[in-house]
Amino acid sequence: MSDLAAEKKHKAPWRENIEALASAIIVALTFKVFFLEVSQIPSGSMQPTLMGNPATDVKDRVLVDKLSYRSRDPKRWEVVVFQHPNMRSLTMVKRLIGMPSEQLRVLDGDLFVRPDSNSAWKILRKPELVQRSTWRKLARAPWGVPEGRVSLAADAALSYAPKGGILDRVLDGYAESLIQPIEAARTYDIKQKGMALYPNEGHANVADLRVEGEFALGSGASALRLEFREGERTYTFVLPGPAGAGEGARVEQRDASGATSVLATAPGKSLAAGAATQVVAQNLDDELVLRVDGAEWLRVDTDHQRDTRSHVRITSSGGASTVDGLALYRDVHYTSERSTTVEFDIPAGHYVMLGDNSPESADGREWQMVEFDVRGPGGVATLRGNLRSTEENPRYARDRDGKERIFLIDEFGDRMDFARADASQKPPYPSPYVPRELIKGRAFSIFWPLRPDLGVYRIGWIR
């Protein structure tokens, strides 16, 4: 009998099972470390791209590609998984916005970039696939967008938010079936805990808007008019109808004084009587775009407006019309009111990450480092960690002898405990940048959850 046969003959079954289990664990760990892993989204900071809502227990599970970044650097607009630079034990999922060695600005809900301080700021526009992920459909309440077929009487305007303006509500973009339980949780928190579920929402006006629907113009209609207000300025897409077919489509601008000018025209473009036509118009990132049945009719740049008060108004001039599938969307509004950093001078080898759900995202705009010089037997040691409000980090308490102590989770995730009398606290400072080495991978697919009871099927690619 050969030595190999003898070894197989005398090997106990339990040993074979242990070896098989150990091999499986090694393969699984190798796969997780180098290739692919699963991450769960715990919060709504990336809504609507990624969902994480405790009130409904809808928490996306995403697949993370850890291999691609071993052969290339991350790209702008990718959704990345990384270690928090101020607390490296914490894994984050955000969208990569700012690139190494450039300057980034958050202003009036928009993003601007430039290569250096000697260059002009340029507005940052998302690629089409990314933009599709970040549009938020405005629900029936409180915006009043109707369902089903809507009749447009001749010269009677259908308006949305004509007074207060459209605001950056957190629930915009959630499925209708999720809004009611989230609102119920909000009411409970206010009544029972004295706190709001989303305290930072609804403070900013949003002017980046999109309206779409299938319009059928009556024979007497001279034009379909889609109006977007932005501060004291109004942009109107004019689509000639059956009674005004010789004019050609155009986009008009009306300023605060009431003066009107034509920004762009599409000669020969008009809407026929009775035919259902898909119309999409948007005012987005200082650019106006009109598409009809998937074809682009108009595209024109506009001047940046600091005033973001907004409304949308739809009018069928000269005759009645109908619209099916009417929908109103808003873009991400990158808020700066809570931000520590609104202009970033990004070092080489570093990135800036922001959340798609800007009012409720604790991202690079807010990150600050808190630092202490602590005296001990071996001299003075400097300890630093991620500054969180409401005494979450650091925390201050008294020991049994009544002496004050400081509890700090440091930048590496270690829990530190020291006497307040031995520590000197420095002023907090912004720490908004993520080093390249802390980026673990790219979130590329949602594979769960499936909630038929809520009409939620969260499966698809992440853009």
Inter-residue contact 350 to 247 (CB < 8 Å): no
Report DSSP state, residue 43.
Answer: S
Report how far residue 85's alpha carbon sits from residue 65's, in angstroms, rounded to the nearest whole number: 20
Contact 94, 117 (CB under 8 A): no
Tokens at 136, concatenated? 């938020």
* Residue 94 annotated to the active site: yes
The active-site residue, picked from 45, 336, 358, 431, is 45
Q: With contact defined as beta carbons under 8 Å apart, do 243 and 272 qualify?
A: no
Nearest to 332 by CA among 110, 180, 151, 114: 110
- Where do runs of H (alpha helix) occur along 2-151? 3-10, 13-34, 128-134, 140-143
Query: How far is 282 from 251, CA to CA, in rounded Å?
Result: 11
CA angle 253-256-258, nearest 5°? 65
| Measured distance CA(170)–CA(458) in Å, rounded | 19
59, 66, 94, 126: the catalytic one is: 94
Query: Is 173 buried (19+), middle (13-18) or exposed (0-12) by CB count in 10 A?
Result: buried
Within 8 A by CB and 6+ apart from 448, the residues are: 60, 61, 458, 459
Q: Is 191 a catalytic residue?
A: no
Which residues have a Cβ under 8 Å from the Cβ of 63 and sit 6 or more positions away?
A: 36, 37, 38, 443, 444, 445, 447
Tell me the C-alpha distance between 328 and 458, whole Å: 22
> Which of the residues are catalytic?
45, 94
